[in-house]
Amino acid sequence: MLKEHPTLRHVFGRAGWYFLTFLVAGTLNFVLPRLGDANPVDVVMSKVSGNIDAKTAREKEEAYLKEFGLVEVDSAGKIVRDAGGKPVKASIVSQFVNYVGMCLSGDFGTSIHQYPKKVGEIIKTAIPWTIALQLPTIVFGWIIGNILGALAAYKRGVFDRLFYPLALLASAVPAFCFGILLVYLFAIRLEWFPAAGGYSEGLTQTLSWEFIRSASYYYLLPFLAIFIPVVGGQAIGMRSMCIYELGTDYVKYAKLLGIKENKILFYMFRNAMLPQLTGLALALGAMVGGSLIAEIVFSYPGLGLTILTAIQGNDYSVITGATLLLTVCVLVANFSVDVLIGFLDPRVAAGIARSE
């Protein structure tokens, strides 16, 4: 059955590839933080210790070591000790197994900075904000940017001459710089919009009309900070692609045949969109990264701020949990774009293998 559906084959192939990437990313997520000497327990201890005696301190430390999976635990749940009575450190392999087990069951561990809060809890509140901000922004930014770029390529003239340098500037400025600019201009100086946060203080996060209104108000500046650079970047790329397409033989031929202008524009857009989609897939990781920084500038209650706070508090559990989740999101997004390309690219439909 798969033989007759090259598109399906493509989708399955990409799924397999992304799964492999996920495995690598997950492993990296585990290995990298443990390369240094960071010991999460030390951090926790430094917070907790104070007026406790040595014995209680040691008990607490062992309890934490057990909780963070850093020591060997026997089948009864008790810490395995060596000849001298000291806890046996868990090997890196068993730590890894533990890690995989925890991830599969959805338990990302316990936060260090905000002990004893669970990592999952912390991330759960932040993720909707990030998705609500980044997803529409990147999607609409891509669509609008490409439309504007196509317009500029088709119309040329005054519109293009005005638009091109603006788009170039917008694409060259990093997202966080835009954020800073917008905050300073519109929030600090002009005081038209709030400078920080996701919603007015004092409001609870419910789906009440009041909350939604407030959240939208706080949404605008962060939205623009990410939206404008994305539009600029896409417009520049699309403009070049369209200018190229408009000069191709097939456009000339379509004109010779008497095919309508609108149809020809449709050809141009459709053909230029494919490389743009591919470009999107390649740039998604960087886009998400840049947007996270923009979030931080606005103290927006999303993953960006969560990671920043975690870094400031040496909270390795939250850092690794958040980065793993982010990577998964980027992989899912990339996969979606790849599937979309698979459906739109006739070379795939014709059964010709796409080379990366």
Q: How far is the CB of 340 from other proteins (least distance, A)?
A: 14
- Tell me the site size for other proteins, rule CB under 8 A: 76
**Of the listed pieces 8-16, 18-26, 61-69, 226-234, which binds other proteins according to CB under 8 A?**
18-26
Interface of this chain with other proteins, residues 98 to 137, rule: CB under 8 A: none
Interface of this chain with other proteins, residues 323 to 342, rule: CB under 8 A: 323, 326-327, 330-331, 334
Q: In the set 49, 216, 270, 340, which binds other proteins (CB under 8 A)?
A: 270
Q: How far is the CB of 48 from other proteins (least distance, A)?
A: 20
Q: Select 192 or 208, whichever has its Cβ closest to other proteins.
A: 192
Interface of this chain with other proteins, residues 20 to 59, rule: CB under 8 A: 21, 24-25, 28-29, 32-38
Q: How far is the CB of 314 from other proteins (least distance, A)?
A: 8
**Of the listed pieces 67-75, 118-126, 227-235, 284-292, which binds other proteins according to CB under 8 A?**
284-292
- The SS3 call for residue 110 is strand
Q: Select 91 or 248, whichever has its Cβ closest to other proteins.
A: 248
Reported residue count of the chain is 356
Could you give the CA distance from residue 124 to residue 115 in angstroms, rounded to a whole number?
16
- The 3-class SS string of 37-103 reads CCCHHHHHHHHHCCCCCHHHHHHHHHHHHHHCCCECECCCCCECECCCCCECECCHHHHHHHHHHHH
Q: Select 73 or 164, whichever has its Cβ closest to other proteins.
A: 164
- The 3-class SS string of 192-249 reads CCCCCCCCCCCCCCCCCHHHHHHHHHHHHHHHHHHHHHHHHHHHHHHHHHHHHHHCCH
Could you give the CA distance from residue 175 to residue 290 in angstroms, rounded to a whole number?
6
Interface of this chain with other proteins, residues 65 to 104, rule: CB under 8 A: none
Q: How far is the CB of 74 from other proteins (least distance, A)?
A: 29
Interface of this chain with other proteins, residues 172 to 231, rule: CB under 8 A: 172-174, 176-177, 180-181, 183-184, 188-189, 195-196
| Residue 230-269 contact track with other proteins, rule CB under 8 A, x = bound | ------------------xxx-xxxxxxxxx--x---x--
Could you give the CA distance from residue 166 to residue 144 in angstroms, rounded to a whole number?
15
Buried b (16+ CB within 10 A) or exposed e, 290-319: bbbbbbbbbbbbbbbbbbebbeebbbbbbb
Q: Is 289 in the site for other proteins (CB under 8 A)?
A: yes
